[in-house]
């Protein structure tokens, strides 16, 4: 094996964005490091991966089987790596295999076998596999008559979702909270369905949504890169959810129960490379359900990769050509192996970026279909300051938790805004906290975990304290606000002008330091980490090697921009 074809990510569309360019570029570099020649095909020239130096040969051609075949023939490609270009790459590889093109040219498929990918993506096959390995999937039933429905009333889990089959846009469905409601909605649904068929499924609305990024190599070694907890509960697509890493409200037992389940799944599927497992977790018990598996590098992998410093795509590419995790070097520390689990000593907050400022008439309601077109990620030593950094990075109208739309709303209107998931709900929740609605009431409406709400309350209290006329406590209020992550310019905007305010802001302890994302929480020395700004005792030594000094410092600056730390912000 000498020449490897990498399929790029194609056009940037909603739900599949530039993260696959990032992954594909890493993969190409990684394969060339291993001594392979890389041929790249991508229809999107506005990507990093199509830069001349990324691959040995770059084809900017439509991502169709016909064009792929021509590239395979012309470049005498020995192998194909499809798992790093998102769904586009996978689908294309599938077509090439089905049409016998891979066999015709003797092209070996690298990474996760297609059969494993199908097993993960086909709903019925996946459910069967989960039953086989005793991992819970949400129960569901097909109901085709009133008798079927009657028989189900006693043992259906409530609430449950009723979906009539073959109706336009799912009309006639609904959520049943009791046998009475199920009977009513079910009967109506059976009449509306063209084939008199209903699908009834356990509703997980309001459960915690937790994700695990896991990796497996051909030898069967499995690791977790990172887990993530969604701020928005089940019901909102994870791409549209605010996400934190690592999880905050899971105990050690729960963390490892779900980790064990995720590793069991990646083993059972036989994935070779990275994989994302999504789980719904009951906030009041140990119950959980496996929702979905992405058998490839995904949007979440890109987030996990940047959140931890672990180069998921790079390592996945090496696994695809047969290397095992214990052979691959940890690129960040350069002293340890890729076979370990990153330890974070900071909190990561991701907020999606929606295009509603461009599509002003778009429906802002969020549900299970992703609407975001991008995301920002922020890192800090507390949730509060990471959240504020992320908000500043969004480049939306609000630079903090204030929003004129919600401060103008009536109590009733605000209730709806808190209940209904939209791109602006974060600010609606903030307004509810500002009006001192009880946390329990807000949590009941939006089903966001109390942990997040209390942290937001800390921010609102700091904001309100700053708004007081200047008094003896000003200095303390400013110190607290800085600690929580407000910037001096934000503090000046919130607090009345005073010499005390200026004195507090010029205090030496309000200057940020820079700490490393080093994959190991400081346990080992790191050679190529990146940095985030925070308030703290001291900075990590900035390691810039002389011969590549310029490149290294550029990398640091670039990362800070990605993290939403603009010079204005600090």
Residues of the shown chain interacting with another protein in the complex, contacts defined by CB under 8 A: 219-224, 246, 248-256, 259-260, 263, 283-285, 325-326, 335-337, 339-347, 381-383, 449-451, 454, 515, 520-525, 536-538, 540
Minimum distance of another protein from residue 290's CB (angstroms): 17
- The answer to whether the beta carbons of residues 5 and 87 sit under 8 Å apart is no
Q: Which is nearer to another protein, 345 or 548 (CB)?
A: 345
Minimum distance of another protein from residue 520's CB (angstroms): 7
Separation in Å, CA 9 to CA 17, 58, 63, 77: 8, 13, 9, 19
Q: Which is nearer to another protein, 197 or 457 (CB)?
A: 457
Q: Which is nearer to another protein, 40 or 244 (CB)?
A: 244
Secondary structure class of 223 (helix, strand, coil): strand
- Work out whether strand 288-294 and strand 513-517 pair parallel, antiparallel, or are unpaired: unpaired
Q: Which is nearer to another protein, 246 or 488 (CB)?
A: 246
Q: Which is nearer to another protein, 223 or 414 (CB)?
A: 223
- The answer to whether the beta carbons of residues 532 and 515 sit under 8 Å apart is yes
Minimum distance of another protein from residue 45's CB (angstroms): 41
Minimum distance of another protein from residue 244's CB (angstroms): 10
Minimum distance of another protein from residue 379's CB (angstroms): 11
Q: Which is nearer to another protein, 138 or 283 (CB)?
A: 283
Minimum distance of another protein from residue 537's CB (angstroms): 4
Nearest-angstrom CA–CA distance, 363 and 361: 7
Nearest-angstrom CA–CA distance, 90 and 256: 30
Minimum distance of another protein from residue 86's CB (angstroms): 28
Q: Which is nearer to another protein, 51 or 326 (CB)?
A: 326
- The answer to whether the beta carbons of residues 8 and 21 sit under 8 Å apart is yes
- The answer to whether the beta carbons of residues 89 and 8 sit under 8 Å apart is yes
Cβ-based neighbour number of residue 46 at 10 Å? 10
Q: Which is nearer to another protein, 101 or 448 (CB)?
A: 448
> Which is it for the CA torsion 475, 480, 481, 483, positive or negative?
positive
Separation in Å, CA 427 to CA 18, 151, 399, 484: 27, 45, 11, 17
Q: Where are the alpha helices (DSSP H) in 175-246?
A: 179-192
Minimum distance of another protein from residue 530's CB (angstroms): 15
- The answer to whether the beta carbons of residues 35 and 8 sit under 8 Å apart is no
Q: Which is nearer to another protein, 161 or 332 (CB)?
A: 332
Secondary structure class of 124 (helix, strand, coil): helix
Minimum distance of another protein from residue 174's CB (angstroms): 28
Q: How far is CA 376 from its chain centroid?
A: 11
| Contact partners, residue 13, CB within 8 Å, separation at least 6 | none
Nearest-angstrom CA–CA distance, 368 and 170: 14
Cα 478–Cα 483–Cα 484 angle in degrees, nearest 5: 100
């Amino acid at each position: 094996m000498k020449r490897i074809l990498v399929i790029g990510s194609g056009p940037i569309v909603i739900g599949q964005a530039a993260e696959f360019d990032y992954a594909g570029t890493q993969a190409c570099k990684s394969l060339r490091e291993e001594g392979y020649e890389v041929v790249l095909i991508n229809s999107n020239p506005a990507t990093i991966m199509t830069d001349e130096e990324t691959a040995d040969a770059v084809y900017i051609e439509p991502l169709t089987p016909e064009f792929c075949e021509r590239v395979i023939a012309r470049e005498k490609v020995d192998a194909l790596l499809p798992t790093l270009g998102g769904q586009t790459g996978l689908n294309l590889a599938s077509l090439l295999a089905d049409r016998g093109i891979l066999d015709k040219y003797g092209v070996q498929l690298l990474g996760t076998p297609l059969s494993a990918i199908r097993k993960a993506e086909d709903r019925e096959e996946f459910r069967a596999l989960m039953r086989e390995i005793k991992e819970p999937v949400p129960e569901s039933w097909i109901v085709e008559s009133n008798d079927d429905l009657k028989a189900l009333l006693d043992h259906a889990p409530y609430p449950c979702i009723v979906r009539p089959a073959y109706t336009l846009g799912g009309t006639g469905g609904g959520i049943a909270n009791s046998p009475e409601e199920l009977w009513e909605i079910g009967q109506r649904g059976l009449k509306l369905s063209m084939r008199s068929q209903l699908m009834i499924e356990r509703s997980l609305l309001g459960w915690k949504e937790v994700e695990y990024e896991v990796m497996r190599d051909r030898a069967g070694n499995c690791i977790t890169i990172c887990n993530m907890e969604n701020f928005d509960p089940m019901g909102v697509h994870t791409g549209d959810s605010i996400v934190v890493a690592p999880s905050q409200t899971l105990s050690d037992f729960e963390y490892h129960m779900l980790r064990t389940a995720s590793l069991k799944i990646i083993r059972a599927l036989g994935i070779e490379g990275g994989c994302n497992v999504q789980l719904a977790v009951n906030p009041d018990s140990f119950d959980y359900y496996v929702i979905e598996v992405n058998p490839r590098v995904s949007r979440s992998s890109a987030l996990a990769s940047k959140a931890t410093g672990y180069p998921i795509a790079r390592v996945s590419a090496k696994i695809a050509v047969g290397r095992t995790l214990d052979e691959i070097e940890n690129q960040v520390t350069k002293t340890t192996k890729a076979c370990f689990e990153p330890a974070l000593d900071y909190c990561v907050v991701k907020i999606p970026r929606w295009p509603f400022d461009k599509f002003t008439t778009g429906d802002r309601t969020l549900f299970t279909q992703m609407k975001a077109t991008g995301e920002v990620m922020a890192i800090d030593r507390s949730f509060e300051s990471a959240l504020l950094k992320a908000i500043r990075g969004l480049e939306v109208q609000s630079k903090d938790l204030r929003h004129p739309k919600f401060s103008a709303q009536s109590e009733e209107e605000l209730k709806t805004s808190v209940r209904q998931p939209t791109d602006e709900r974060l600010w609606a929740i903030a307004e509810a906290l500002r009006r001192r609605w009880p946390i329990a009431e807000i949590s009941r409406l939006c089903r966001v975990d109390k942990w997040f709400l209390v942290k937001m309350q800390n921010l609102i209290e700091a904001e309100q304290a700053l708004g007081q006329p200047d008094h003896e406590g000003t200095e303390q209020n400013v110190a607290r606000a800085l600690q929580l992550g407000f910037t001096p310019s934000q503090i000046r905007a919130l607090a009345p002008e005073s010499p005390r305010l200026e004195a507090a802001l010029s205090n030496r302890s309000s200057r940020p330091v820079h700490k490393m994302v080093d994959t190991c929480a400081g346990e080992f020395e790191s050679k190529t980490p990146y940095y985030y700004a925070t308030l703290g005792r001291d900075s990590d030594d900035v390691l810039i090697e002389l011969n590549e000094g310029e490149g290294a410092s550029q990398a640091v600056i670039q990362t800070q921009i990605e993290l939403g730390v603009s010079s204005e912000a600090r």
